[in-house]
Chains A and B, each alone.
Chain A
Amino acid sequence: MTVNSANVGIVIVSHSPLVARGAADMVRQMVGNSVPLAWCGGNPAGGLGTDTGAILKAIDEAWSEAGVAIFVDLGGAETNSEMAVELSGEARASRIVICNAPIVEGAVIAAAEASGGASLAKVVATAQELSPS
């Protein structure tokens, strides 16, 4: 089965590779291969933490011309994701959003929205409804 790369891509970034992979499994169960999806977790030495290089690679894997929505757990994951977005270059950076939403629920709801062909803005808005601002 090939991934529908026309839909918005989803990236999951956790401090723990187990959390990231588990969240990605839940997304796949929901939407199959209808959205580009990638996850990463752990620091460059393999311990708990986040890795800007791995996030850049995940963005690349889940890249879609429609854009990419990133879901993060704690502060370091957000800061390292922001760094990765900046390092991915201006052309891509404008089409990547780090969502203010719970990592598991956010990723699953966003993927469901993305699987129907929704725009990046709609995908992000749907996920962010989970977090009262």
Chain B
Amino acid sequence: MIAVEEPRPAIDHAVLTNRLIAACRDVIATREADLCDLDRAIGDGDHGTNMRRGMDALAAESRQLAAMPLSEAMSRAGTILVMSIGGAAGPLYGTFLMELGAALRNVEAWPEALRRAVAAVARRGKSAAGEKTLLDVLYPLRDEVVRHTPLPLLAQRVQGFAEMTIDMQAMRGRASFLGERSIGHMDPGAASCALLAATICRELAEAGIE
């Protein structure tokens, strides 16, 4: 008898979208207070609550998002975050998803789409690497994706990217008003970004995506 390799089951994108949204919402809900604490140290203390509101808004439209083509779902999810978060994080995360959606619509490969989305976040925030923002997670994350780092490994590494912001001095946002006193605290935007990125990497890996 000839051994036939079992075909891998096709990925059900609707199921995956629902799972990703639920997982992102869960991790933010669990860490809402921690994110607020980080923000209270160097900002206005509402980052966890704002992100929670954004994730709840995504979860409320999860089924509709899951029924859309991927690029369209990304754009719509971006708009939902812009309209619901209510802080600078709204336009930053929203722009990331909208740009990702637009790039995927033009059939760009994932690393290129991610590169564009990260560049769009930098433009939106008028910021660069090393300024103690979520970009300090997004840039190294992008580089790892370009290098095809396995997703489970990437999920472990992203927290380290956020920790790099502890020693940085804030140059953007309200934390920059503190000058050198912003050193010694993790940036809340970098923290939420690392939580979400790790969660997404784990979920994608579990779904059999490489």
* Contact across chains for B82 and A45 when beta carbons are under 8 A apart: no
* Contact across chains for B86 and A83 when beta carbons are under 8 A apart: no
Task: A82 to B91: give the CA distance in the assembly, Å.
Answer: 9
Instruction: Kindly list chain A residues whose C-beta atoms are within 8 Å of the C-beta of B83.
Output: 44, 51-53
A83 in contact with B91 given A44-B53, A52-B82 (CB within 8 Å): yes
Q: Which residues of B49-92 are within 8 A (CB) of A?
A: 49-50, 53, 82-88, 90-92
A34 sits at the interface (CB 8 A): no
Task: A79 to B81: give the CA distance in the assembly, Å.
Answer: 14
**Residue-by-residue, is A45-88 near B (CB-CB < 8 Å gives 1, otherwise 0)?**
10111111100000000000000000000111001101100010
Output the least CB separation between B123 and chain A (Å). 10
A43 sits at the interface (CB 8 A): yes
Question: Count of A-B contacts with CB under 8 A?
Answer: 60
Sorting the interface of chain B by its residue count into under 10, 10 to 19, 20 to 34 or 35 or more gives 20 to 34
B174 sits at the interface (CB 8 A): yes
Task: A51 to B83: give the CA distance in the assembly, Å.
Answer: 7
Output the least CB separation between B39 and chain A (Å). 12
The majority secondary structure among interface residues of chain B is helix
Task: A97 to B53: give the CA distance in the assembly, Å.
Answer: 29
Q: Which residue of B lies closest to A49 (CB)?
A: B86
- Interface size of A in residues (CB-CB distance below 8 Å): 18
Instruction: Kindly list chain A residues whose C-beta atoms are within 8 Å of the C-beta of B174.
Output: 74-75
Output the least CB separation between B84 and chain A (Å). 6
A43 in contact with B91 given A52-B83, A75-B173, A83-B82 (CB within 8 Å): no
- Residue from the list B86, B95, B172, B173 in contact with A44, Cβ < 8 A: B86
A83 in contact with B95 given A50-B86, A50-B87, A52-B82 (CB within 8 Å): yes
Task: A83 to B172: give the CA distance in the assembly, Å.
Answer: 17
* Contact across chains for B91 and A52 when beta carbons are under 8 A apart: yes
Q: Which residue of A lies closest to B44 (CB)?
A: A48
Instruction: Kindly list chain A residues whose C-beta atoms are within 8 Å of the C-beta of B94.
Output: 83
Task: A83 to B87: give the CA distance in the assembly, Å.
Answer: 12
* Contact across chains for B88 and A76 when beta carbons are under 8 A apart: yes
Task: A52 to B88: give the CA distance in the assembly, Å.
Answer: 10
Q: Which residues of B are at the interface with A, using a C-beta cutoff of 8 A? A: 44, 46, 49-50, 53, 82-88, 90-92, 94-95, 124-125, 172-174
A-B contact sample (7 more), CB < 8 A, given A45-B49, A52-B90, A83-B90 = A43-B87, A45-B53, A50-B87, A52-B83, A76-B87, A80-B86, A82-B124
Can you list 30 A-B pairs with a CB-CB distance of less than 8 A? A43-B46, A43-B85, A43-B87, A44-B84, A44-B86, A45-B53, A48-B46, A49-B46, A49-B86, A50-B87, A51-B86, A52-B82, A52-B83, A52-B90, A53-B83, A74-B174, A75-B172, A75-B174, A76-B88, A79-B88, A79-B91, A79-B92, A80-B82, A80-B88, A80-B90, A82-B91, A82-B124, A83-B90, A83-B91, A83-B95
